[in-house]
């Protein structure tokens, strides 16, 4: 009888430790997220399941073109791509991204640009047009979805404070046919 009680107690302890460990990992390190909508097409698809690395910006700094998850103004979590870092001047001219006067290629947009032909995917704007400032404010990011014509991003909601960023995401784990690690391009 005593042996059965000890075994039950050991299993209970193991289960409690496993649950606590899973909670710590989920809350502090990594969390699953589901892509909701088409704003990151063709890079991410509606209902893709991804892992958010919550430590990424605790130990490192955001990089241009990282895909991040953040708390949006209306209480939802958005997934977008970093275009402008603090202090950057961001501008689109003739469907080309310019940051601090330098043009950048965005290969993740090539598919949509081909489909549109001569019609621009991203309309021309300057940061001043969008947020009333020449540069991205300190501690904030300018983000955009890859599906530029159908993305609610910094062009509509303004810059994103780093305090609202949950983390970086690059691992798609479901559906299995789409499973991959999305590299910054």
**Catalytic machinery residues:** 39, 80
Query: Three-class SS of residue 98?
Result: strand
CA–CA separation, 137 and 86 (whole Å): 5
C-beta separation of 161 from 140 below 8 A: yes
C-beta separation of 53 from 99 below 8 A: no
Please tell me whether the peptide bond between 71 and the residue prior to it is cis, using omega within 30 degrees of 0: no
The closest of 35, 31, 54, 52 to 146, measured between CA atoms, is: 35
CA–CA separation, 124 and 90 (whole Å): 11
CA–CA separation, 83 and 114 (whole Å): 21
């Amino acid at each position: 009888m005593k042996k059965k009680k000890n075994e039950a107690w050991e299993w209970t302890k193991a289960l409690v430790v496993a649950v606590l460990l899973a909670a710590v990992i989920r809350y502090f390190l990594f969390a699953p997220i589901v892509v909701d909508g088409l704003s990151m097409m063709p890079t991410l698809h509606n209902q893709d399941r991804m892992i958010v690395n919550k430590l990424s910006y605790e130990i490192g700094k955001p990089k241009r073109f990282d895909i991040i998850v953040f708390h949006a103004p209306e209480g939802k979590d958005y997934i977008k791509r970093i275009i402008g870092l603090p202090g950057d001047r961001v501008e689109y001219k003739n469907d080309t991204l310019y940051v601090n006067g330098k043009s950048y290629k965005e290969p993740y947009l090539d598919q949509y640009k081909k489909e549109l032909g001569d019609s621009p995917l991203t309309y021309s704007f300057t940061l001043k047009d969008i947020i009333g400032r020449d540069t991205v404010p300190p501690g904030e990011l300018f983000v955009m979805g890859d599906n530029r014509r159908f993305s609610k991003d910094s062009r509509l909601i303004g810059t994103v404070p780093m305090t609202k960023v949950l983390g970086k995401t690059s691992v798609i784990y479901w559906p299995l046919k789409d499973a991959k690690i999305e590299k910054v391009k």
